[in-house]
Amino acid sequence: MLIVYQLEAYLPPAARKWVNEKLRSFRALLIENGILASSHDASAESPALEAARNALKAAEDDLSSHKRSLEDSNSDLTKDYGTSDIFRALKDKCVEKDSGEYTYELCWLGSTKQKSKKGGAHTLMGSFVSFDTTTVDDETPVDGKGLGSGERVVLKYENGQHCWNGPNRSTMIVLACSESEEIWKITEEEKCVYRMEVGTSAVCGMEAGKPVGGDKGASEGTKDEL
Ligand code: MAN
């Protein structure tokens, strides 16, 4: 067998050169077509293998981003948006109001924040956890911007930034019917326990969180806890 490998040595010089050149150009052709790695380094990858590896990586990235968006959609579907999904329309929307040295922000079914007018970091006053109801008995102001009296829908925001020598901040949002979304009043009931009185069209025509004179919301069965 050895003789086969040494065949080249038995060839006349001109033929040996010809064979060598043919081999070199064949190798170049393989490299050009991505079949053979260009380096003599055994660990080097051929362009074809590299392209396949890149395609796999891109497909895997694509798959994880689709998985993430599927998880987001699933958790959105299981999230409680209230009777008849009424708060879904307000999702990702926020309202603000200046009060004292702060601007207060309420993001619907998101979080509440206190922003100092002097700048600096914002203080998280809680994140939405659940719906509730409360009974109020206020005089309705002439401009209609108040809670009035009766049972009102409450949004509970909890687990905000820890208060020095106090609890984690929390906010109780008491809602009443209004043409547009607006914070009417903000109070700090006790240290780091906040209350916002807020107007929204989302609760118009509701009593104790249920649609007045209809059982549409309740008949849907799954989200009738309001
Ligand atoms: C900040 C604000 C106040 C709060 C105090 C408690 O100044 O969040 O609302 O009462 O901290 O230390």
Across 24-33, 39-48, 95-104, 116-125, least confident range: 39-48
Ligand 1 neighbourhood includes 161 CB (under 6 angstroms): no
Asked if 126 contacts 160 with a C-beta cutoff of 8 angstroms, the reply is yes
And the tokens for 162?
């820890």
Mean pLDDT of the chain: 86
Ligand 1 neighbourhood includes 204 CB (under 6 angstroms): no
What pLDDT score does 7 carry?
A: 66
Closest CA to 96 of 183, 157, 160, 186: 183
> Which of the 8 DSSP states describes residue 31?
H
pLDDT band at 141 (very low <50, low <70, confident <90, very high): confident
Strands, E, within 45-169: which ranges? 94-99, 102-107, 111-116, 123-137, 149-158
Mean pLDDT of the region 136-162: 93
Mean pLDDT of the region 209-226: 48
Ligand 1 neighbourhood includes 168 CB (under 6 angstroms): no
Which ligand 1 atom is the nearest neighbour of the CA of 164? 12
Q: Mutation test of ligand 1: which of 104, 162, 192 has the most ligand atoms closer than 8 Å to its C-beta?
A: 192
Mean pLDDT of the region 108-112: 96
3-class secondary structure, 158: strand
Tell me which H or E stretch contains 193. Answer: strand 193-200
Closest residue by CA, ligand 1 atom 6: 163
Asked if 181 contacts 96 with a C-beta cutoff of 8 angstroms, the reply is no
What pLDDT score does 219 carry?
A: 40
Query: Using one digit for the tens of pLDDT, what is the confidence trace for 8-28?
Result: 777 888 888 888 888 888 888
Query: Using one digit for the tens of pLDDT, what is the confidence trace for 53-104?
Result: 999 999 999 999 999 999 999 998 888 888 878 888 898 899 999 999 999 9
In degrees rounded to 5, what are phi and psi of residue 221?
80, -50
